[in-house]
Chain A
Amino acid sequence: MARKVAIVGTGQTKYATKRFDLSAPDMVYEATSKALVDAGLTIKDVDAVVFGMAPESLDGVNSMDKWCSTAAAAYGKPFMRVHTGGATGGSTAIAAAYHVASGLFDVVLAVAVERVGETPDAQRVLNRIYDPVITSDFALNIINVVAMGTSRAMQTHGFTEQHMALIAVKNHLNALNNPYAHLQFSMSVDDVLKSPLVCWPLKMGDCCPRSDGACAVVFAAADKAKKIARVPAWVNGMAAITDINVPGETGDSGWMSAEAVWKAYKMAGIDNPRRQIQVVECYAPFSSMELLLYESLKFCKASEIARLVESGFGEMNGEIPFTPSGGVMCSNPIGATALIRVAEAAIQVMGKGDKRQVPGVINALATGSGGSPGVGSAGFSTAMILGKRP
């Protein structure tokens, strides 16, 4: 990029099923203020704001960004809302980084919020993302689409429900170290396997919650970043790639595209991710999505996934910890979720992870996924690679 960009501060709310105590702007205000305090900046230092919010029908307020804009420090400032479904937070971060990289802005806030708790039935809302003429009538939603993809991947990638359960157990254990996490209880493999069936092979223990929450991240230009933060998290690679899957028309409609990650690797000069990346904050609302990323992020071959899971590859003391925060499986305020991945990856690079800190992080990868994996229409994927060195 013409101008180097770094993350210099992050802020998050506590995630919960329903934040009765705070309205949407209240949550945005809390995350924004925390991010500014974290960076040691004031509202006057903010040159522009990019806002993320996914389907408004989840929140019940159209263009809720406008209502939240003042709380996001955007009064009298350039402000725009980004929306790419579940990838929204990732796209928001990327759009904010482009604001800085363009040379027109020095300090730009990325803020995202979702109040999934406002909707009585999130999956019914998510049925409306499918084509109204053909696919919507099949009562598709994210859970049953992921279940279909998972059962197919179990055949092709050779993993079992036990392997999925191991991922769930790991994420729930990690969430205990993250004060912001929504679900904070530990589970055994047996607990996951015996949890109520949602849509085979997904059990309750394999699925994310629906959360209320907000997240904010401060991006700054190189010269400023060095003054603001002791250890800035440098944006060394980023991409937001849209893939299109039409049932019956695409050969391999099995899973979410990882094109964005591959492009970001290239930008960041990463040719051996397993050696060069020390921590991954991935967007995996379901246990099966995380374990499939081992392959698509180029950490291993498909046939090695099962063995890698068994070896504890992604655990906190494993080879490459995946989602030390507990990840999407433990907190999922949809539009903010992918920005939380970016924030958590930045926290790891900046060394601010406290109990969830992975030692010796040089490069961290944050991913985002939106739209629908596999069946029907577009899937949006985002990736950002943050490094200790520019």
Chain B
Amino acid sequence: MATETIEVAGHIVDSLLLAKILDTILDAGCDYEITDFSIGKTSLDPSRARIDVSGDDEVLSPLLDDLQVHGANRSEQREATLEAAEVDGVLPAGFYSTTNLATDVRVGGRWLPVTNPEMDCALVLTADGEAHTAPMHRVRAGDRVVVGSDGVRVHVPQAAPGTQVFEFMASEVSSEKPKALLVSRVAERLRAARERGAKVLVVAGPAVVHTGGAPDLARLVEAGYVQVLFAGNGFATHDIESNVLGTSLGVSIAEGVPTEGGHSNHIRVINEVRRRGSIAAAVEDGLIPGGVMAACVRAGVPFVLAGSIRDDGPLPDVLTDVVVAADTLRSYLPGVGVALMLASTLHAIATGNCLPAGVETFCVDINQAVVTKLADRGSHQALGIVTDVGPFVRQLADELLSER
């Protein structure tokens, strides 16, 4: 799929030339978007249109030749300037710093779509002519990096059909929204994602376990509503602790009271998992009978656990090199259509930084500041829901699974 911009001017309305050009584009199986149009004020004034034409490469080129006959010419476009990185992990000065919007780079007279939009990265052109974003540390000496902003264009996301939930939520994040309605709309989006084969990414914080939402999240994993899980040492530890010992941070999940010696429960659980080498091994061994992590292992849902400096243990699966952790997360992002951030601040923001703007993002947190911070990260489709995460996940699971 490629996009080219054409321009046509003159008495293109009265002469039906514009109608003919647009019909010709559609007849060829391509699509158009009129990005700029000025209509002549009198019968003498020329009208002008700038049209983005998109279609398959092999159709687009002959189509544009045809359109030239009718006076529609490719607009003059500047090429992207490329400069080779001199040192591993260092970008050329003046590198183009990306947004999370869908982006195209113009090279060799054509617009190349950037395969993985991500903010605060560089644009790198591979030898086989593919344009992709690369975080600074991944750039290698000799990589061709786009410098300046010539030959780069970004697309502001268009509201896709069926995304009214976002229009509904376009107002400020607030705890005053009717929760039941929100839950059912989130459920609707998850169902829609499943129908179109898009992946759902869940980012979960420890509060999901503390508030009793873990069994419901596990139900969602088992039912196939989650394709990737991203979390930290805390979430995984408390999920395992609650399933092995019935407590979360030493507090009984069932009774809500601290248990004797409970303060060390999570350390002991981590130790036992470390003894077995991995969470998967501990599930297989029967140590971990249930919970979100066990559900992921059993359902083959990949999880990425990113560590931090305050982690106990950590669990053997935790990636303690943050750069490796971020890159691992990135490797699971292609195909993600919906991101559900559940009571997580740091991991949610880290994920938000990596996601293309087109991914529908729901951020659920009891703290309005966290929700606002995430929703404001420039993601055009981020929706904040201020609520207690446990009941939210339960309602969501009930809504999604009750029909089954």
Q: Do A and B come from one complex?
A: no
Task: Tell me the B residues contacting A by CB distance below 8 Å.
Answer: none
